Chain A
Amino acid sequence: MIYGLLFGFVYALISAGFTLVFGVSKILNLSYGALYMTTAYLIYYFITFLRLPLAEAILLSILLTVVIGMTIFYFVLRFTKNANIFMVTMLLFALLLQYLYSYFFGGEVGYIIPGPFPSASFSLARVSVSYSLLFSAVISIAIVAFAWIWIEKSSFGRKVRATSEDAEVAELLGIDTRIVAMVVLVISILFISVAAVLVVPSQEVTPDMWINPFVIAFAVSIIGGLGKFKWVIPAAMIVSFSEVTSQYLIHYNVSEIVAFLIVIVFIILFPNGLGGRGNEE
């Protein structure tokens, strides 16, 4: 139960950016998971090859991930306005990054690199795994809560909400929706990047590691309703609790299937997610 709660916070951080971007731009950023992986590989690279201190490596990696993510996003957006083509291309970029990393960092596709993160990198991680989890969960929930308050209270947050409700009207009211979209994109990449910093030390860095956070982000966003930021936390809780429970009760590998089934049920019963009803007129 505690695991479910803690993972739920981390999942909320992973998914927040995904749903935020969809809310504002009505576009799904399918390279989202790949950016998570990018941060992980960059940290690995900085630490092992350039021998940077950890804090520096983390900061640089997050910064570079934002740059890379923005570049990909605007590069694709520059050439296509078709939502389908955009999605496919973003997914292809995710694949491209996967093959790139597997080529430069290790072996064939699907080959698992043993955990390159020095355990000393996180002082709490060395004591106990659950401490590091606790630590990540606290940071995650702090970030998500801060973002939530920021969106609800600040004037820029109001612009974000206006844009995600109706971009055209927001434009008419004098809001520069492009800037809003860009800021939100930066924030979303920051989220996934920080999530990578928090989660990856307890995992391994492999070329297909982007799939798991992506699936989580996707499931949470669907359950909470795409683009509805305040439902991210409850949705993340549903996903993490069901995963933990099914892992405990049935089998370790079952958890993803359970997540998938929940998503299908939700898509059929509540196509707008948990937050759907409030917004229907």
Chain B
Amino acid sequence: MKNKQILFLSRGYIISIIIVLVTVVVSTVIRSPFLTLSLTISDIFILLALAWDFSSGTTNYINFGISFFFGIGVFATGYFYYSFHLPVLLLLLISTLLGVLAGLLFTIPTVRVRGVFFTLLSLLLPLMGTSFILAFWTVLGMPTIGYFNIVQISKSPEVALIYISIIVLLLLTLVYLVNSTHFGLVLKGIGDDENALVAQGVDSFPYKVVIFSVSMGIAGLAGAIYAMTTTFAGVDSFGLEFLLYPMVIAILGGKGKLLGTIPAGYLIILMSQYLQQYVGDLTLMLFAALAIFLFLFLPKGISGWYK
């Protein structure tokens, strides 16, 4: 039984890798700028969904704060590029570290409270994120509209996509490895029954702090990549769609099942990118409706059917 489980997971892992490789090949062969951009954005949202699922899907601590840390990543990239003209790698690193740091600051006081309260506190972050940043920025005297012409990962979008795909695959592997260790087991324990876990003598607090900070770091990284892809960092990046899409992807891919994330991510984001062409702003509405449908009728996602 246990072997079967591992086999299933590793098959999903291989399929995910193949899908990512296929997208890279397709983009280099077809060389359509729109397709490449869509795939890049899919990758960014997949990173966000991975971050969300990594922490919230396994531990069942629903975290709405992800879009806020994404926004921090975007802004940090803009700020550090403009002020110090740092190279790409350093920018990625800084955004990730800032995400982790902000995640720590947020998590340490709040993660002690359970269930509803944590969810609500994390919801306050994205709701107030814009005014947070605006307040800090205006007090510090920075431009509030945003930063333009941020450095790109690579001049050619296809090459950039290759780099981003590598990042996605690395993180996927990391998440996959973590989930199969003792650490991952504790996380699942938190999700299943935290009281039972604590009764067994496991202090869940440090686990929660680490997992949330790491996933916030991933969100920051995704933000940095987003800023470099669009070459613009503005207040827009705190929008709630950066919460909506990752959640839809994670739920469609199966909550706590990280490997469904990749196919679900490409499906959702490519669909929305193409829909955007035809129906414009209606897309977001359609996806909010889709999310409601998924949450109510299909809470187990794709891998729920698969089993």
Contact = CB atoms under 8 A, between A and B. Distances in A.
Interface of A: 28, 30, 76, 79-80, 82-85, 87-89, 91-93, 95-96, 98-100, 102-103, 108-110, 211, 214-215, 218, 222, 250-251, 253-254, 256-257, 260, 263-264, 267-268, 271
A256 B121 contact: no
B109 A268 contact: yes
Interface stretch (B83-91, B166-174, B236-244): B236-244
B117 interface: yes
A267 B292 contact: no
Interface of B: 60, 62, 64, 109-110, 112-113, 115-117, 119-121, 123-124, 127-128, 131-132, 134-135, 138-139, 236, 239-241, 244, 247, 281-282, 284-285, 288-289, 291-292, 295-297, 299
Nearest to A80: B296
A87 B207 CA distance: 25
Given A110-B236, A260-B128, A79 B281 contact: no
Given A79-B296, A92-B288, A110-B236, A267 B117 contact: yes
Contacts of A30: 123
A99 B119 CA distance: 22
Interface secondary structure of A, over-half rule: helix
Given A76-B296, A80-B296, A28 B116 contact: yes
B240 to A, nearest CB: 6
Contacts, number: 108
Given A88-B62, A109-B281, 11 more contacts: A84-B62, A85-B295, A87-B119, A103-B281, A109-B239, A109-B284, A218-B120, A253-B139, A254-B139, A260-B124, A271-B113
Contacts of B132: 256-257, 260
Contacts of B119: 84, 87
Interface secondary structure of B, over-half rule: helix
Given A88-B62, A254-B135, A260-B128, A99 B112 contact: no
A271 B132 CA distance: 24
Given A251-B135, A268-B109, A215 B127 contact: yes
Given A215-B127, A251-B139, A256-B131, A99 B116 contact: no
A83 B296 contact: no
Contacts of B120: 28, 218, 222
Most chain B beta-carbon neighbours within 10 Å: one of A96, A108, A222, A250:
A96
Contacts of A89: 292, 295-296
Contact of A263 (B124, B247, B295): B124
Nearest to A101: B285
B62 A267 contact: no
